Amino acid sequence: MKKQRDLERLKQVLLRKQADRATEEAEEKKEEDDIDENGEASDEGEEMEGQSASHAPVGGASRGALKSLLDDEAEEDEDEDEDDEDEDEDEEDDDEFDVETMEKKSRRLDRKRQREEEEAEAAADEDYEGMQDGAPADDEDMTLNIDDQQDEGEGGAKLSGGVTMKGAFDLGAIKQRIQDTVMLLESWKTMDERARKGRKRADLMAQLTADVSSFYGYGPELADYFLKLFSPQEAIEFFETNEKPRPVTIRTNTLKIKRRDLAQNLIARGANVDPIGEWTKVGLTVLSSSVPIGATPEYMSGYYMLQSASSFLPVMALAPQPGEKVVDMAAAPGGKTTYIGQLMKSSGIIFANDAKKDRCTSLAANLHRMGILNSIVVNMDGRKLAEHLPKVDRVLLDAPCSGAGIIARDASVKVKRGPKDFEEHSVLQKELLRVAVDLVDANSKTGGYIVYSTCSLSVEENEAVLDHILHIRHVKVVPIDAIDPNFGVHGLTRFRERRFHPSIDNARRYYPHVHNMDGFFVAKLKKESNVIPSRIKKDRRKHNEAVQTWDESNITADMLERPLTFPDKEPPPPSASAAGAPSSAKKGKKKHKGKHQQQQAAAAGQPPAAKGKKRPSDGERPRDASGVSKHGKVPKKGGKGSPPFKRRKKGGGAGQ
Amino acid sequence: MRPLTQEETTAVFEKLAKYIGENVMQLVERPDETYVFRLHKDRVYYCSESLLKMAACVPRKELLSCGTCIGKFTKTHKFRITITALEYLARYAKYKVWVKQGGEQTFVYGNHIVKRHLARITENCPKNTGVVLLSQNDIPLGFGVTARSVAEMRSADPEAIIVFHQADVGEYLRSEGDIL
């Protein structure tokens, strides 16, 4: 599988190289057109196969050769050998074509080889010079490969993502370079300036990102994200682990059978099962099986559920008690829901909701199969649940996510998702989590808990969502009692430029390369009160003591000393009264701001007694002619607080 | 979601009685809580009253299932028990048939039970009665109707059908979409 994919990638690279070559060999182009396209393509493919097959040994050998300083020649020999091999193969292939084609082809190949040799020589020379500079031999050994590739890259055309052309050919070399870069980056801090040879860490990281994205097939942005999330060493482990599938795990339905008995039954059917680990009492790993594990009579009768190990965790964290009311907001296909039912021993009530109707059928089927008798299956947008359902004791929200933790299961995530998707998903997740919190009754005797989980590892979809809910609801992140506190990695409280609430440390992350399960995030929240915090409305009424009205007491001596004269102009008609419609007040707002200063100065200039009358005529809202009649009322009714004054309070930011 | 009408109730109980006989009463009169039958989108659900009360919160259109689906009414108003009722049928079944391991596989693929696959059977099982089928280690596999009485089975050909297939747990995989 992997080899096939690598071949695919190589083919792409080759096609690009072909295009590059076309520009150089313009005069030959016409002749080439005569050659059968298909024949050529397949020929190229063969050539490539030969190369990729000989890569691994060559990569290793070149590394070995580079260890001693003077073995450059040996390396060249190796290269030549490789080329010879290629040539042999090419010739074999060419036998199938007519002589004319063969001739042209061999000529072209000769030229190509010559060019490559020249490049290699140039690179070797440079390397040799570099060595003579007197850098320590150890470091040199470690870094040579990288230099090598970079130098060649200068000679050759650059591919997208900064991958050098020759590097892209040679998967073994990319792998080697990834390893070397990682080693280099790991020891970067302790390395002295000379050993760094003027390279920048950022450049190395960019190189690593490009290599990773080409070697493992990730989108560059996603690769970059993971390299930032993990240390380079850990990130490579993560990428490596994602190439291998996670073990198949099943969950015993303890409503129907004991784990020991189930294991016996399955072994009798020809499956090889083992307990998953210390942390769960219901899970089994299927090591091998001679029968399809998803179609045994035990499975169909609901004695166990095929479920990834990581999906146990949110339910264990939720720890539903018998007799409670529990909501699973994104339930399909029902793995976690049936586990909840199992823990509740078929008492109490489970609301299992899913937004997609076709997924709901499998949810309902699984609930019936597993013998969960107390479930209510709802097909509703999760965001509307709070409007319909009563307050419940616990809510599980396994939010829809980008799936960045289950790349081993779904490799399309590698190219399909990026940091942008993380942001997009987090919007819905925040909404759903808010609804989840609203669904829970904080006064519940046994519960009041919400568990939030995703199968993504991105910070946007996890910690940021929690941080958001901590701001808008009375909840706190609590430690997960049901799971061993040493199992799992702590939630991040800081990631690059972002800082999160310290209690998010209580959440847990699970990584494929550490825990051998899908990447997962679990957090348990406790609702503190049913009160929904809202922004405190500003009370602008006059009897509110907090509201400071503008009156004589605000006039300082300083103001009186600097009177401002006004031009003798016809005062424009004043506008609506204090009780004017709010919409008109809003419209007027902009105008006021500009004139604010002027007004204040005017206030200072006017004798206090005259203020009430004169103020509105200071040219506030010229457009409203109808306000004239109302204007007369204002001073009588409002007394001190005539309309412009009121508005000014806002502008001045008076005591709120 | 509404209570069953008189005719519907009779249809449901008659059908259930074929499999669990007088144990039907145990479904209705339970010591723990009152359980009821409700009709929703042509399907009959069996659930406790407290569950029903909670299900009432959910708009009818969005509600897909409540408690356990016992069966469905066909377009011609006949009642059919679905495989989802197996949980209760197996619990209260009057007549049971145990099938050999070879028979398990053929049965869960939707075939009838032939005599060759018969391992054990409840004594005095008459003809044309509902039976629950179990594997030899007591895993319920489905239910069917006997084609012969026990006495007739003794003399029957090894390939003769003894239990007609009605529903089996393989439907959870074969026709998951049709279950609800």
Among the partner-chain residues A297, A362, A376, the one whose CB lies closest to the CB of B54 is: A376
A455 catalytic? Reply is: yes
Beta partners for A169? none
Say how far apart CA B150 and CA B124 lie, in whole Å: 6
Which of the four pLDDT bands, split at 50, 70 and 90, describes residue B13? Answer: very high
Which residues in chain A are contacts of B48 at CB distance < 8 A?
374
**Total domains present in chain B:** 2
Say how far apart CA A400 and CA A359 lie, in whole Å: 13
> Would you call A374 and B67 a contact, using CB atoms and an 8 Å cutoff?
yes
Does A321 lie in the same domain as A302? no
A377 touching B (Cβ < 8 Å)? yes
> Would you call A297 and B139 a contact, using CB atoms and an 8 Å cutoff?
yes
A275-293 residue pLDDT tens? 998 889 999 999 999 999 9
In a domain, A109, yes or no: no
Say how far apart CA B68 and CA B83 lie, in whole Å: 11
Report whether A10 contacts A52 (CB < 8 A). Answer: yes
- Interacting residues of A466 by C-beta distance below 8 A, sequence separation 6+: A433, A452, A477, A491, A500, A501, A504, A507, A523, A525
> Of A73-77, B116-120, B174-178, which one has max mean pLDDT?
B116-120
Q: How confident is the model at residue A571, as a pLDDT?
A: 60
A360 touching B (Cβ < 8 Å)? yes
In a domain, B180, yes or no: no
A327 touching B (Cβ < 8 Å)? no
CATH of the domain at A371: 3.40.50.150
> Would you call B84 and A265 a contact, using CB atoms and an 8 Å cutoff?
no
Residues of chain A below pLDDT 50: 23, 26-97, 124-167, 576-656
Report which secondary-structure segment, H or E, holds A453: strand A449-454
Residue from A373, A379, A381, A383 whose CB has the most chain B CBs within 10 Å, to mutate = A373
Does A339 lie in the same domain as A354? yes
> Would you call B169 and A369 a contact, using CB atoms and an 8 Å cutoff?
yes
- Alpha-carbon gap: B100 to the closest alpha carbon of chain A (Å): 12
Does A392 lie in the same domain as A351? yes
Q: B66, B88, B110 — which closes off a domain?
A: B88
- Interacting residues of A517 by C-beta distance below 8 A, sequence separation 6+: A246, A249, A308, A309, A310, A510
- Interacting residues of B103 by C-beta distance below 8 A, sequence separation 6+: B113, B114, B116, B117, B118, B119
A362 touching B (Cβ < 8 Å)? yes
Q: How confident is the model at residue A120, as a pLDDT?
A: 55
A402 touching B (Cβ < 8 Å)? no
Tokens of A73: 């020649």
Does A466 lie in the same domain as A373? yes
Does A327 lie in the same domain as A291? no
In a domain, B179, yes or no: no
Does A389 lie in the same domain as A255? no
Beta partners for A326? A350, A394
Does A448 lie in the same domain as A503? yes
DSSP A312: H
Residue from B36, B64, B101, B134 whose CB has the most chain A CBs within 10 Å, to mutate = B64
Q: How confident is the model at residue A484, as a pLDDT?
A: 82
Q: Which chain A residue has its CA at the smallest distance from B55's CA?
A: A376
Percentage, residues of chain A above pLDDT 90: 32
Residue B46's SS3 state is strand
Q: How confident is the model at residue A3, as a pLDDT?
A: 56
Report which secondary-structure segment, H or E, holds A93: helix A72-94
- Find out whether the peptide bond into A136 is cis, omega within 30 degrees of 0: no
Interface of B with A (CB under 8 A): 47-48, 50-51, 54-55, 57-59, 62-69, 83-84, 86-87, 104-105, 108, 135, 137, 139-141, 168-170, 172-173, 176-177, 179-180
Q: How confident is the model at residue A623, as a pLDDT?
A: 43
Domain that holds residue B161: 95-174
B50-94 residue pLDDT tens? 999 999 999 999 999 999 999 999 999 999 999 999 999 999 999
Domain that holds residue A231: 173-183+197-243
A375 touching B (Cβ < 8 Å)? yes
Q: Which chain B residue has its CA at the smallest distance from A392's CA?
A: B54
CATH of the domain at B69: 3.10.450.220
Does A401 lie in the same domain as A476? yes
Residue A517's SS3 state is coil
Q: Is A420 exposed, middle or buried (0-12, 13-18, 19+ CB in 10 A)?
A: exposed
Which of the four pLDDT bands, split at 50, 70 and 90, describes residue B113? Answer: very high
Q: Is A487 exposed, middle or buried (0-12, 13-18, 19+ CB in 10 A)?
A: middle
Which residues in chain A are contacts of B137 at CB distance < 8 A?
265
CATH of the domain at B102: 2.30.130.10
Q: What angle do CA B142, B147, B150 make, to 5 degrees?
A: 95
Does B99 lie in the same domain as B84? no
In a domain, A614, yes or no: no
Does B102 lie in the same domain as B30? no
Tokens of A371: 């013998």
Report whether A345 contacts A378 (CB < 8 A). Answer: no
**Total domains present in chain A:** 3
Among the partner-chain residues A301, A365, A373, the one whose CB lies closest to the CB of B180 is: A365
- Interacting residues of A364 by C-beta distance below 8 A, sequence separation 6+: A334, A377, B64, B65, B69, B179, B180
Does B125 lie in the same domain as B67? no
Backbone angles phi and psi of A228, in degrees to 5: -85, -30
Does A353 lie in the same domain as A487? yes
- Alpha-carbon gap: B170 to the closest alpha carbon of chain A (Å): 6
Q: Which chain A residue has its CA at the smallest distance from B88's CA?
A: A371
Say how far apart CA A577 and CA A645 lie, in whole Å: 12
ipTM over 0.85: yes
Does A516 lie in the same domain as A502? yes
Which residues in chain B are contacts of A349 at CB distance < 8 A?
50-51, 54
SS3 sequence, A454-485? Answer: ECCCCCCCCHHHHHHHHHHCCEEEECCCCCCC
Say how far apart CA A170 and CA B40 lie, in whole Å: 63
Does A288 lie in the same domain as A254? yes
Torsion of CA B127, B133, B134, B139, to 10 degrees: -160
- DSSP labels for A150-170? HHHHHHSPBPGGG-BHHHHH-
Does B135 lie in the same domain as B77? no
Does B156 lie in the same domain as B138? yes
What are the Cα distances from residue B28, in Å, to A255, A334, A347, A611, B48? 22, 29, 18, 84, 10
Which residues in chain B are contacts of A368 at CB distance < 8 A?
65, 68-69, 83-84, 87, 172, 179
A510-532 residue pLDDT tens? 999 998 899 999 999 999 988 88
Among the partner-chain residues A301, A349, A376, the one whose CB lies closest to the CB of B140 is: A301
> Would you call A297 and B67 a contact, using CB atoms and an 8 Å cutoff?
no
> Would you call B65 and A362 a contact, using CB atoms and an 8 Å cutoff?
no
Does B70 lie in the same domain as B113? no
From A184, A343, A395, A455, active-site residue: A455
A368-379 residue pLDDT tens? 999 999 999 999
Does B84 lie in the same domain as B109? no
Q: How confident is the model at residue A603, as a pLDDT?
A: 45
Does A364 lie in the same domain as A429? yes
